[in-house]
Amino acid sequence: MSQPFAQPSDVEVIRVAVDNALNETHTCLPAIIESFDATTQTAKVNPSIRRIVYNGDKIVIPPIINVPVVFPSSGGYSITFPVAAGDEVLLVFSERSIDMWLQSGGVQDPLDRRKHDYSDAIAIIGLHSAQKAISDYSDDGLVIRSDDGTEKITLSQGSVDIDIAGTGGAVYNSDGSVVFKNGAIITALGGFINGPRSGSIPLDGHKHLAGTPPGDTGVSKL
C-alpha cells in the first residue's frame, strides 16, 4: 500500500517562499566591462560569478546593458579616466527601477514594480581581483598613476611629486622650492617672467639643464 503524500509544514512552506524571494533579490556582484560609451558614461558588463539555480546547475548571467558607471564627481568638478574592456567593476543593484531617473535625473517614479533587478545595475570602478591588484601600492600619500607606475603624481605631507615616464620628474615642496630629478630639463616655449632681481626676462627658447648652477645651492626658488 502506497504511503500518503506528506504535506509540507507551514515552516517549510515559508522557508521555500523566502528562499525563492531571495533568489531574485540581487545586491552586488563583481563584473567585467565588455564595452563603454564615453558619451553616456554607461557600459555593457558581464557579471563575474555564475548563478546557481534551484536544481544546482550553474549558469552564466547574461550581459547587462546601459549600466551607469560611477566616477568621482561633486561640486562642479570630476575625475575622469579611460574605461576599457576587461576592467573589473563592482555592480550594485538598485532597490527600484532606475530607468526614469537615468533618463531624466531628479526625483522620479519607478517605471514598474521590479526590485533589486539585474537591469537596475550600477557599476563602481576600482574593484580588483587578486590577479589585477595594483602593483607597487603606495600607502604614504595620495597617488594618481598609470597601472604600470611610469606616470604618477604623489601628494604627501609637504610635497607634490610628479613623475613622467619614469624619469623622476620634479618635486614641489611646501617651502616654494622645486627639485628636478634625473636629468630633467626646463624648456620655455615663449613669454616672459617677472622677477624681483632682474625684472622681466624673455623665456623664448630658454633652457635650464638639471644640475647645480655655479654659486647656487641646488634648489630652485620660485
Distance CA 166, CA 181 (A): 11
Bridge partners for 74 per DSSP: 77
Q: How far is CA 5 from CA 21, 35, 54, in A?
A: 26, 53, 22
pTM: 0.74
- Are β-strands 51-52 and 58-59 bridged in parallel, bridged antiparallel, or unpaired? antiparallel
Q: What are the chain's domains?
A: 10-132 (2.40.50.230), 142-221 (no CATH)
Q: Which residue do the cell numbers 543593484 mark?
A: 93
Q: Which residue do the cell numbers 598609470 mark?
A: 146
Query: Sign of torsion, CA 54 56 57 60?
Result: positive
Instruction: Give the residue among 217, 195, 196, 216 at the shortest CA–CA distance from 206.
Output: 195
CB 85 within 8 A of CB 34: yes
Encode pLDDT of 37-52 as tens digits: 999 999 999 999 998 8
Distance CA 14, CA 22 (A): 12
Beta carbons within 10 angstroms of residue 48's beta carbon: 17
- Are β-strands 121-125 and 64-70 bridged in parallel, bridged antiparallel, or unpaired? parallel
What's the pLDDT score for residue 188? 64
Lowest mean pLDDT: which of 28-42, 85-99, 145-159? 145-159
Cell matching residue 18: 523566502
Distance CA 65, CA 87 (A): 15
Mean of the pLDDT values across residues 51-60?
Answer: 86
Encode pLDDT of 161-208 as tens digits: 988 887 778 888 888 888 887 766 666 666 666 666 656 666 666 666
Encode pLDDT of 99-138 as tens digits: 999 999 999 999 999 999 999 999 999 999 999 999 989 8
Amino acid at site 200: S
Who contacts 185 (Cβ-Cβ below 8 Å, separation ≥6)? 207, 208, 209, 210
Bridge partners for 156 per DSSP: 159
Instruction: Give the residue among 142, 147, 133, 143 at the shortest CA–CA distance from 84.
Output: 147
